[in-house]
Structure 1
Amino acid sequence: MNHQELDHYLRKLDQIEEIQIKTGENVNDFDGNELVVESEGTIPRMQDFYFFDNGPVFINKHHRFANMPLHIHSFIELNYVYSGICHQQINGQSVLLEQGQICLLDQDVPHSISALGEQDILVNIIMKKETFSKIFLGRLSNSGIVADFLANAVSENQKHDKYLLFHSQHNKNLQYIIKNIFCEFFSKQEHSLVMVNYYLPILFTELMRVYQLDKNFEFHKKTSRANIVDILSYIEQHYRDCTLTAIAKEFNFNPNYLGNMLKERTGKTFLELVHTQRMIHASTMLQHTDKSIDEIAYEVGYESPSFLYRKFKKHFGQTPSHFRKNKK
């Protein structure tokens, strides 16, 4: 399936849509007694066992022409607007999704979807929570404090609305990637699911870039100074010998204000961020070089190897020696 064939496939009326366009009423196209059970309240909860017979990821086109009632589900869901617009109520908030945008919904967040018109095409990517965590948090969170900050954005958001809206409509690379994912899944070729699983980390990496740009825009609306990602990038590059006072001077901040902002935005103090970055570099050298632990301690900014030992064991739960041995 190519992109043109995908477009025809998504725009064509399916059996459910043929019914809904006549009645305007939502049709449950599953064996509802198994799929939907009552939650603790009165909101139906979709279970995950129906969707994942062939793997931990499932993709489907949302049926048009009828309202999708309020519901929750036991899996992670990405809503992608392939065409047109989509009105949703998410956790009590009215949310408008435009063509090319993605909304990431956490488990058990109440949401409903207004009837889609003929040109409004919404595609859902759903996955188990553990699959999402492995791809989005596991693979992307150990390459530096910037990636760590962005990868944990969803966890940070769980304290609030339990969803993230990505303004991805202008990211052509993301549009290309996600269409390729749909082509693989819907064509059901040999090894299609394997290809989908390879594409997903790339998709989430692009979403991290979109999230970074969104946060930068929000920050610049409040202040003309450097944004949090710029500051974290500076720490990443100068972790060996940077000080809070030097960074505050570099970005024209009061040191106390900068320290409080870092704690508020990342959940870590300045020193914790520095030590985290040192641990990341130390672990990389332990895995990929033959340098001694004394040499590594000096290279990441510790004058005493014993200090590296203490920090490393606290961070990774094992000594540098055991870490190197277990990674070989």
Structure 2
Amino acid sequence: MDIYHVGEALVQRQLVAKKRQVKGTWLNLAPANSLLTPTLDAKLENEDGRRHRHQSPRPTLLYLFSGTARVTTQQVQLPLLSGNLVFLAANTPYQVDALKAGDVLVTLHLPADQSLLQLLPATSAGESVPVIQRIIADYHQWHCARFNGNKIADSAYITERMICEVMAPTQFGAARMPHFFQLLLIELLRQADYAGAPQSLPARHVTTTELLTYLDENYDVSSLTMMAQTFDYNPNYLSNRLKAATGKSFIQLVDDRRMHVAVSLLENPRISVEEIVNYIGYSSKSFFYKKFKQRYGQSPSELRQLLITEQKGKLIS
């Protein structure tokens, strides 16, 4: 795999996991029995609409490939933008807020002897010493360090190169990894990307449009509780706000979107009703039939036949 296709591969894994409703907080990126795993283990945060909690016995590097994310550790919040990196000390508990569509967060578990403090270069350059001393002091206090890298910086290229190596190992891959780690820290220092001590995120007003967009993108896997966690709202407050803005409850809004997608899928005779039920997030085929008939006055099979007949009529005319 080359670096130009790593994004496509990451997003594809995320989409497949979401469609299959894969449980768990991480998606493995390394092939089974990879020789690289003791040196570098890479995982993809599961974009399942849930807030995830983690704690690893190994030093951890978080890399936001795209979108935005928010990580909380030691009672502070770390807002991340595309290209940002966060180093976490071993055994540091942290939490990743629910990701939205387009948010791609990769977790790299480093060897025990490759924590941030071991990776910092020894230097006598006067301009580097104060920054390194500040990083060391902050890391001892907060057990984490955030770097404001961006997608066009060398730090992003090196990190994505490591991700490629994990996903598709090549010859001498394990031998290259320690050098990638060291080079990454050097580039971050050269780019002057250290973000300083962690700071809390300011409160942000969430618009009704954002709430409805979230439902459009996550109707198949989301619950009221999960959505409330995503936006840091109380579930009752969120329910009342949706009702006031749309005149419909959360369940009604989700059902609207599920039924709309179901009808569009029924137009394709190659997709079975069972596949549609799974795709739109219903766990029971009989429950789906009941809800569908209540809304449209006919069964999915009957509506499918009507839609196919209408399509044929349009083609003839």
Q: State the one-letter code of the partner of 1:125.
A: L
Q: 1:134 to 1:108 in 2, by over 3 A?
A: closer
Q: Which residue of 1 aligns with 2:13?
A: 13
Give matches, 1:197-276, under 5 Å: 197-211=178-192, 214=195
Q: State the one-letter code of the partner of 2:4.
A: Q
Contact 1:69 1:113 in 2 (8 A): yes
Q: How big is each residue's C-alpha offset from its partner over 1:273-298, in whole Å with a ceiling of 9 and x where there is no partner?
A: xxxxxxxxxxxxxxxxxxxxxxxxxx
Shift of 1:28: 7.0
Q: State the one-letter code of the partner of 1:185.
A: V
Q: How far apart in 2 are the matches of 1:173 and 1:202?
A: 10
Q: 1:167 to 1:161 in 2, by over 3 A?
A: same
Q: State the one-letter code of the partner of 1:63.
A: N
Shift of 1:128: 3.0
Shift of 1:111: 1.1
Shift of 1:147: 4.0
Q: Which residue of 1 aligns with 2:43?
A: 60
Q: Which residue of 2 aligns with 1:176?
A: 157
Q: How big is each residue's C-alpha offset from its partner over 1:124-157, in whole Å with a ceiling of 9 and x where there is no partner?
A: 12213422268513xx124445444444444311
1:96 aligns with 2:79: yes
Q: Which residue of 2 aligns with 1:234?
A: none
Contact 1:80 1:103 in 2 (8 A): yes
Q: How far apart in 1 are the matches of 2:27 and 2:195?
A: 36
Q: How far apart in 2 are the matches of 1:51 and 1:92?
A: 35
TM-score, normalising length from structure 1?
0.50
1:108 equivalent among 83, 91, 110: 91
Q: How far apart in 2 are the matches of 1:52 and 1:144?
A: 37
Shift of 1:105: 1.3
Q: Which residue of 2 aligns with 1:37?
A: none
Q: 1:54 to 1:75 in 2, by over 3 A?
A: closer
Contact 1:181 1:199 in 2 (8 A): yes
Secondary structure at 2:43 match in 1: strand
Secondary structure at 1:104 match in 2: strand
1:72 aligns with 2:28: no
Q: How far apart in 1 are the matches of 2:92 and 2:34?
A: 18
Superposition CA RMSD, Å = 3.1
Gaps of at least 5 residues in structure 1 are 31-49, 216-328
Q: State the one-letter code of the partner of 1:176.
A: Y
Secondary structure at 1:205 match in 2: helix
Q: How far apart in 2 are the matches of 1:94 and 1:133?
A: 19
Shift of 1:171: 5.5
Q: 1:89 to 1:52 in 2, by over 3 A?
A: farther
Q: Higher relative contact order at CA 8 Å, sep ≥6: structure 1 or structure 2? A: 2
Q: State the one-letter code of the partner of 2:50.
A: N
Contact 1:81 1:101 in 2 (8 A): yes
Q: How far apart in 2 are the matches of 1:29 and 1:170?
A: 22
Q: How far apart in 2 are the matches of 1:213 and 1:179?
A: 19
Q: Which residue of 2 aligns with 1:36?
A: none
Q: 1:147 to 1:57 in 2, by over 3 A?
A: farther
Q: How far apart in 1 are the matches of 2:36 and 2:174?
A: 12
Q: Which residue of 1 aligns with 2:146?
A: 165
Contact 1:184 1:195 in 2 (8 A): no
Q: 1:188 to 1:9 in 2, by over 3 A?
A: same
Gaps of at least 5 residues in structure 2 are 197-317
Q: How far apart in 2 are the matches of 1:133 and 1:52?
A: 23
Shift of 1:123: 0.9
Q: How big is each residue's C-alpha offset from its partner over 1:48-99, in whole Å with a ceiling of 9 and x where there is no partner?
A: xx99974332222222124343332222111111011112222222322111
2:176 equivalent among 170, 188, 195: 195
Secondary structure at 2:163 match in 1: helix
Q: Which residue of 1 aligns with 2:66?
A: 83
Shift of 1:210: 4.0
Q: How far apart in 2 are the matches of 1:2 and 1:94?
A: 33
Q: 1:146 to 1:84 in 2, by over 3 A?
A: same
Greater CA drift, 117-126 or 65-74: 65-74
Q: Which residue of 2 aligns with 1:121?
A: 104
Q: 1:54 to 1:162 in 2, by over 3 A?
A: closer
Q: How far apart in 1 are the matches of 2:20 and 2:42?
A: 22
Q: 1:51 to 1:180 in 2, by over 3 A?
A: closer
Q: How big is each residue's C-alpha offset from its partner over 1:247-284, in whole Å with a ceiling of 9 and x where there is no partner?
A: xxxxxxxxxxxxxxxxxxxxxxxxxxxxxxxxxxxxxx
Secondary structure at 1:95 match in 2: strand
Q: How far apart in 1 are the matches of 2:152 and 2:195?
A: 12
Q: State the one-letter code of the partner of 1:58.
A: D
Secondary structure at 1:89 match in 2: strand
